[in-house]
């Protein structure tokens, strides 16, 4: 212990010697005057390639890890198709968005952001939601997240937020977690993060499944039609099964019981032919209305509230095929936000502008050079011709003597295409302004939308956010950082900040919350659709069960698309009192209550009755604490009565008079959580 402390103090002293009081420079030793903003043509203009500091910082960051992705290392993908239901010809010339019924192959990769490739699926984190559309005009990559905003406003800050949230470099801990000093120190000292932190502390950061998770393009893009007229847009994906989440205690336990929980769920549902579908749409704003809102539409830390700017749905994505090889497909897929087709264009969002550089630079390192587009998962389905040659891992054998443009030896082929011929022409946006490192003043409001998000939450959702803050900030060792966080989030909600302060041992804040009373019901998961299909029920059973009763209930569940696992003391067959046999596919040791959406307590007999009943009670108690529905068969009531669970919301007991058990139980499963259950009463 003493040696460890001495080493830590020596390291701290060395850090002070190397860094304290020193001025920031580039790697060439040039002193840096601004490390907050990239160089732009005007405060709301495009980012300039002249910004050598931005390029050096992003290049170094992109090359920090090999071969694992720097962020989004933990991922899982699947194939499918996009079908256009509503023509978007009025708004874009993109061919795959013209004729209803057009189908386009897609590949989607879901991921966590912070953890390494070997980390768990259910950690509290942002989820990547990246889609590659293999269109007839080339690949279009929609590289987004399951949260519609981001931590920062300018790409030059991206290495900083990732360095802060990654495991601390002196001990490489904690893995795949934001509950540590450097992250919350970054948050408190970079208050543009406020809105994103509210989402990160919400249930959105612990989704129930990739199949029940929204997707967002995050940035403001443009759609451009055949006449050259443009609209500002944000992309949205909404799961047909609704948006559902785990509870934090459950998520932590699943990480230990099944760290592959999300990828297993996606794989198994696709293998079983279950529906994995998302509607896709856009919010649109006319160019003339760019400045009519109380937020800047180019600010990546802001949403466009759906009640103000509705989402226009135009198609559906269906995932229907698992990968054949995770490395060849999921690991080698190379998404790039700059992969667009005619009719889809960019804006001056400074976070988007930096990503346009960074993604390509990253792929050059990860995939061994410039020929990564020839890897099968990245290859377009349309023909491609150009004068690019050679390089690492070249797969195509080029012939002929000409590899330049313009030429006469090959009759000037390959030749360029005009706008009318489908050539990509950048939107002719007027750009003017002084070359400057600054941000528009319209980016300065960091708390109004964070407050809007808080106002939109239900009571249980607010309680979960508060508990998440207390857990995360409670892990911070620095009292100064804990105090700074509390003082920051009083701007969002005073009650929230006081609850955090009291729990983490710092002073209550003195400031006041922003005066925002508006809410956006679309932000609350309480408004999401709910369905029973593909939810999973654990049937806890012993010998001597009522075969007729169990068969009827299981049949009703399966008819509604509910997945059923029969759980007992051993694998194999089990016989009921009436001679009915069931096959057990899980045991109390091989599964866990946190892996089920609901339990059906059948009970029965066992050679070791005390152990059998104890195992079932543990399952009941866990599910009850996580607000899940529990069905109780006539033979299971005695065991249920010995548990901590009490009759009430979400508890369906077969012996109760007037209860149509199968249908009532299915209704409870559909509801998924019963937040009005008081789990703390005796």
Tens of pLDDT along 10-31? 767 777 777 777 787 877 777 8
Q: Is the peptide bond before 67 cis (omega within 30 degrees of 0)?
A: yes
Asked if residue 627 lies in contact with residue 654, where contact means CB atoms within 8 angstroms, the answer is no
Please report, for residues 265, 290, 552, 560, 594, the alpha-carbon distance to residue 536 in angstroms, rounded to integers and kept in the order given: 10, 46, 17, 11, 11
Token pair 């451009």 is found at: 224
Is 72 known to be catalytic?
yes
Given a cut of 70, is residue 128 above it in pLDDT? yes
Which CATH fold would you assign to the domain 531-671?
Rossmann fold (3.40.50)
Which helix (DSSP H) or strand (DSSP E) does residue 261 occupy?
helix 261-271
Is 85 known to be catalytic?
no
Which CATH fold would you assign to the domain 43-181+188-378?
Catalase HpII,  Chain A, domain 1 (2.40.180)
**Catalytic member of 72, 79, 236, 262:** 72
How far is 673 from 597, CA to CA, in rounded Å? 9
pLDDT reported for residue 3: 60
How far is 677 from 670, CA to CA, in rounded Å? 16
> What SS3 class is residue 644?
coil
pLDDT digits (tens, 9 = 90+) for 174-207: 999 999 999 999 999 999 999 999 999 999 999 9
What's the CATH number for 448-526? 1.20.1370.20
Average pLDDT, the chain: 94
HEC string for 177-204: CCCCHHHHHHHHHCHHHHHHHHHHCCHH
pLDDT reported for residue 134: 96
Asked if residue 555 lies in contact with residue 549, where contact means CB atoms within 8 angstroms, the answer is no
Q: Where are the beta strands (DSSP E) in 417-569?
A: 435-437, 536-541, 563-568
Q: Angle at the Cα of 163 (from 369 to 257), degrees rounded to 5?
A: 90
CA dihedral of residues 513, 517, 520, 523 (deg, nearest 10) = 20
Structural tokens at position 670? 């559909």
β-pair partners for 279: 238, 316
How far is 421 from 398, CA to CA, in rounded Å? 26
How far is 579 from 563, CA to CA, in rounded Å? 24
Asked if residue 484 lies in contact with residue 188, where contact means CB atoms within 8 angstroms, the answer is yes
pLDDT digits (tens, 9 = 90+) for 403-448: 889 889 888 888 888 888 888 989 999 888 999 999 999 999 999 9
Q: Angle at the Cα of 190 (from 448 to 59), degrees rounded to 5?
A: 125
pLDDT digits (tens, 9 = 90+) for 223-270: 999 999 999 999 999 999 999 999 999 999 999 999 999 999 999 999
Residue 289, Cβ neighbours under 10 Å: how many?
Answer: 13
Given a cut of 80, is residue 8 above it in pLDDT? no
**Catalytic member of 53, 79, 139, 145:** 145
Asked if residue 677 lies in contact with residue 627, where contact means CB atoms within 8 angstroms, the answer is yes
pLDDT reported for residue 323: 96
Structural tokens at position 87? 């023509």
How far is 129 from 5, CA to CA, in rounded Å? 42
How far is 339 from 523, CA to CA, in rounded Å? 29
Domain range summary for the chain, segments of one domain joined by +: 43-181+188-378, 448-526, 531-671
Dihedral (CA of 559, 564, 566, 571) sign: positive
User: Can you give the C-alpha Rg of the chain in angstroms?
Assistant: 28
Given a cut of 90, is residue 217 above it in pLDDT? yes
Phi, psi for residue 198 in degrees, rounded to 5:
-60, -40
pLDDT digits (tens, 9 = 90+) for 619-658: 999 999 999 999 999 999 999 999 999 999 999 999 887 7
């Amino acid at each position: 212990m003493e040696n460890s402390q001495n080493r830590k103090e020596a390291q701290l002293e060395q850090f002070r010697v190397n860094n304290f009081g020193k001025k920031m420079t580039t790697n060439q030793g040039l002193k840096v005057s601004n490390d907050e903003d990239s160089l732009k043509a005007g405060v709301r203009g495009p980012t300039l390639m002249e910004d050598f500091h931005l390029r050096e910082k992003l290049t170094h960051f992109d090359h920090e890890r090999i071969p694992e992705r720097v962020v989004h290392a933990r991922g899982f993908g699947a194939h499918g198709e996009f079908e256009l239901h509503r023509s978007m010809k009025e708004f874009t010339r993109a061919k795959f968005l013209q004729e209803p019924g057009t189908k386009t192959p897609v590949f989607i990769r879901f991921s966590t952001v912070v953890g390494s490739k070997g980390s768990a699926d259910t950690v509290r984190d942002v989820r990547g939601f990246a889609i590659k559309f293999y269109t007839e005009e080339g690949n279009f990559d929609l590289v987004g997240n399951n949260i519609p905003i981001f931590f920062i406003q300018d790409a030059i800050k991206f290495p900083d937020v990732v360095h802060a949230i990654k495991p601390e470099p002196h001990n490489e801990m904690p893995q795949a977690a934001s509950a540590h000093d450097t992250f919350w120190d970054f948050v408190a000292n970079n208050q543009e993060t406020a809105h994103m932190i509210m989402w990160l502390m919400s249930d959105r950061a612990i989704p129930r499944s990739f199949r029940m998770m929204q997707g967002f393009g995050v940035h403001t893009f443009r759609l451009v039609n055949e006449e050259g007229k443009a609209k500002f847009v944000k992309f949205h994906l909404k799961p047909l099964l609704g948006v559902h989440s785990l509870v934090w205690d459950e998520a932590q336990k699943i990480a230990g019981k099944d760290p592959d929980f999300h990828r297993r769920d996606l794989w198994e549902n696709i293998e079983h032919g279950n529906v994995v579908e998302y509607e896709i749409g856009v919010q649109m704003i006319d160019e003339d209305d760019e400045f009519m809102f109380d937020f800047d539409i180019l600010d990546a830390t802001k949403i466009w509230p759906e009640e103000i700017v509705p989402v226009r749905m135009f198609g559906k994505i269906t995932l229907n095929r698992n990968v054949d090889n995770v490395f060849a497909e999921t690991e080698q897929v190379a998404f790039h936000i700059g992969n667009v087709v005619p009719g889809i264009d960019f804006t001056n969002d400074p976070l988007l502008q930096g990503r346009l550089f960074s993604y390509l630079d990253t792929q050059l390192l990860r995939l061994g050079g410039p020929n990564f587009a020839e890897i099968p998962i990245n290859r377009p389905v349309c023909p491609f011709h150009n004068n690019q040659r050679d390089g690492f891992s070249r797969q195509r054998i080029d012939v002929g003597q000409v590899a330049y443009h313009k030429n006469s030896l090959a009759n000037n082929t390959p030749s360029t295409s005009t706008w009318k011929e489908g050539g990509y022409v950048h939107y002719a946006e007027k750009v003017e302004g002084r070359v400057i490192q600054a941000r528009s003043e319209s980016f300065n409001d960091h708390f109004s939308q964070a407050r809007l998000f808080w106002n939109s939450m239900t009571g249980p959702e607010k309680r979960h956010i508060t508990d998440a803050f207390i857990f995360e900030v409670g892990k911070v060792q620095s009292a100064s950082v804990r105090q700074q966080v509390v003082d920051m989030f009083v701007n969002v909600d005073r009650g929230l900040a006081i609850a955090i302060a009291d729990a983490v041992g710092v002073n209550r804040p003195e400031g006041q919350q922003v005066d925002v009373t508006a809410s956006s019901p679309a932000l609350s998961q309480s408004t999401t659709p709910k369905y029973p299909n593909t939810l999973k029920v654990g049937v806890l059973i012993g010998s001597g069960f009522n075969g007729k009763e169990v068969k009827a209930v299981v049949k009703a569940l399966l008819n509604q698309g509910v997945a059923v696992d029969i759980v007992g003391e051993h694998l194999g067959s089990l016989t009921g009192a009436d001679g009915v046999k069931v096959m057990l596919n899980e045991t109390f040791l091989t599964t866990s209550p946190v892996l089920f959406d609901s339990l059906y307590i059948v009970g029965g007999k066992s050679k070791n009755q005390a152990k059998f009943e104890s195992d079932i009670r543990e399952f009941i108690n866990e599910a009850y604490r996580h607000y899940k529905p529990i069905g109780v068969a006539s033979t299971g009531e005695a065991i249920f009565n010995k548990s901590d669970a009490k009759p009430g919301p979400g508890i369906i007991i077969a012996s109760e008079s007037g209860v149509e058990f199968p249908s009532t139980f299915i209704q409870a499963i559909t509801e998924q959580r019963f937040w009005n259950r008081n789990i703390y009463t005796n």
